[in-house]
Amino acid sequence: MGNIRILVIEDNPDDIVMMQRKLTSHFDIDFATSGEEALKSLKEKKYDIVVADYSMPKMTGLDILDRIKNEGYDIPLIITSGVGNEWIAVEAMKKGACDYIVKSICPDWLEVFPSVIQKSIEKYRIIKGKKKAEEGLRKALEDLEKTQDRLRELTITDDLTGLYNRRHLFNQLQREIMRAKRLGDPLSLIILDIDDFKSYNDRYGHLEGDRVLRRLAEVIKDNIRQIDSTYRYGGEEFAIILPVTKIQDGLPVAERIRSAFEAVEFTPEVSKGKVEHAYRTLSIGIAGLDPDYNLEDLVKYADDAMYEAKRKGKNQVFVSDPKAEE
């Protein structure tokens, strides 16, 4: 135990002499006769433990304990007192003291004090190690939760566009249909497709085609509300769920997306240093939820409307009206 360094805060000369005689053979000891002197010593040296007498002028042992904790010193502390006082003992423990020694109750306290000091240091290290382990476990659980969230995000996200994928479309659409029917709210679904995308890919290559898909994803996100959600339905097809939206209110959204994408200029490289200026258009279909529709019905009618927009000349929005077809 000879390498253990102790700071003793004591203003009683007789106690200081006794502690010097009994403890210097066990520990390296420095003495401070006031709280301020002790805090100065803590700034200058590293100690394994602090022993503070409660009855100190200007600053009690409990005050010293508070200052040590508040100033960020990571060190165990024992409170000593010449007179037993239950309140002092309770407050000392509440504030984080490792032990409380009453000198008058135990006349031979200095005989057992080396053991008390050693056990206090060990106890403090165990508690500190436990807290560190608990903090490590907490961080590991947080990291695991973040990883699980990220993995879940990957399973529902399209790699190329960053939009939700087809699988998540059907899961979310089913939830929205159930919610809309339960609350009596309207619900609209948009399905859109890039016109003549295959010919664009054949002419400029798939990398240029990917740029078009990513740009379309940006255009869609820029023109929908926060409560709306967009998905890569497959290939060059995209879908948008519009909750609490009547079909006539969804029509301007579809038209806004069509117009914004039509204005986007693409500059695919056709040979080294040479680019062309190209534009793409969209065929868009929109369908509204009917009380008798299920998920397949809503998707079918929106998809049929999109193909009708293509049949009628492309670059337009067509509104589904199944009753008109009957």
pLDDT tens by residue, 78-94? 988 877 778 888 888 88
Strands (E) across the chain are located at 5-9, 28-32, 49-53, 77-81, 99-102, 187-194, 229-234, 237-243, 269-271, 274-275, 282-288, 316-319
Q: Which of 188, 172, 303 is nearest to 235 (CA)?
A: 303
Query: So what's the pLDDT on residue 58?
Result: 84
Looking at the fold, whether 65 and 194 belong to one and the same domain comes out as: no
Looking at the fold, whether 118 and 175 belong to one and the same domain comes out as: no
Which residues are catalytically annotated? Answer: 236
The number of distinct structural domains making up the chain is: 2
Q: In what order do the strands lie in the sheet with 28-32?
A: 28-32, 5-9, 49-53, 77-81, 99-102
**pTM, entire model:** 0.61
Domain encompassing residue 200: 166-325
In a domain, 124, yes or no: yes
Looking at the fold, whether 234 and 97 belong to one and the same domain comes out as: no
Looking at the fold, whether 101 and 182 belong to one and the same domain comes out as: no
Looking at the fold, whether 193 and 309 belong to one and the same domain comes out as: yes
Q: In this structure, are residues 190 and 250 in contact, taking their beta carbons and an 8 Å threshold?
A: yes
Domain holding 190: CATH number? 3.30.70.270
pLDDT tens by residue, 254-269? 999 999 999 999 999 8
In a domain, 148, yes or no: no
Q: Which of 196, 161, 189 is nearest to 281 (CA)?
A: 196
* Helices 206-222 + 247-262 axis angle, to 10: 140
Q: In what order do the strands lie in the sheet with 237-243?
A: 229-234, 237-243, 187-194, 282-288, 316-319
What percentage of the chain reaches a pLDDT higher than 70? 97
Looking at the fold, whether 120 and 268 belong to one and the same domain comes out as: no
Mean pLDDT for the chain? 90
Looking at the fold, whether 170 and 242 belong to one and the same domain comes out as: yes
Domain holding 35: CATH number? 3.40.50.2300
In a domain, 235, yes or no: yes
Looking at the fold, whether 60 and 185 belong to one and the same domain comes out as: no
